[in-house]
Chain A
């Protein structure tokens, strides 16, 4: 495996479910990111981890809970989501801060019923 991978690619969940999104990067990068992309809206930065430490939390509701056990893995735990949380969730990584190119995964298409 190379680059940034995300699983699952598609997820449908009810508002009472608990699910997790997984991201893995095979690039030896130190920083990992979660973004949300809603239809016709800019990519919204949600969380940033640098060397496993959270450096950015962009006022994200607590129903989204990130976890970064090591520099290669990033999770987004989801619980009691709302239909408006339906979106494409993209993971990215970079060597250093955002002056370095970010490498994105293919995303998880989330639908909340």
Chain B
């Protein structure tokens, strides 16, 4: 049973428009959420995170929104650029969970020029 779900395997967006990647989780104990980005032939790299005490965190073109009641988070990229084309992984863990981060299956984003 997947505790972190990314239900869209892929997403295609025009350059300059907004990309919205979604993630749902089932474990209400999760209190820290992360997004990682992965290019082909490279390992995932950390993009942005959010603690459960917040509902929004922004870093440049990237904003993560957290809706705890719906157990849903989303990553907004605006404006989208062709270099943003990659696989995006949502991840979650708990402050008492030690070293265990749970990842989603990823969403492949295509940004068309």
Contacts and interface: CB of A to CB of B under 8 A. Distances in A.
A101 interface: yes
A31 B89 CA distance: 21
B99 A56 contact: yes
A107 B41 CA distance: 8
Contacts of A104: 36, 43-45
A42 B99 contact: no
Contacts of A107: 43
Looking at chain B's contact residues, the main secondary structure is: loop
Interface in B85-103: 89, 93, 95, 97-103
Contacts of A31: 99
Interface in A69-103: 90-92, 97-99, 101-103
A42 B105 CA distance: 4
B98 to A, nearest CB: 6
Nearest to A41: B105
Interface residues of A, number: 28
A107 B32 CA distance: 25
B95 A42 contact: no
A21 interface: no
A4 B95 CA distance: 25
B2 interface: yes
B46 to A, nearest CB: 4
A50 B9 contact: no
A16 to B, nearest CB: 29
A107 B98 CA distance: 23
A99 B43 contact: no
B59 interface: no
Nearest to B42: A106
A62 interface: no
Nearest to A92: B43
Contact of A4 (B43, B100, B103): B43
B111 interface: no
B103 A56 contact: no
Given A50-B99, A98-B93, A98-B97, 4 more contacts: A42-B104, A44-B103, A56-B100, A90-B43
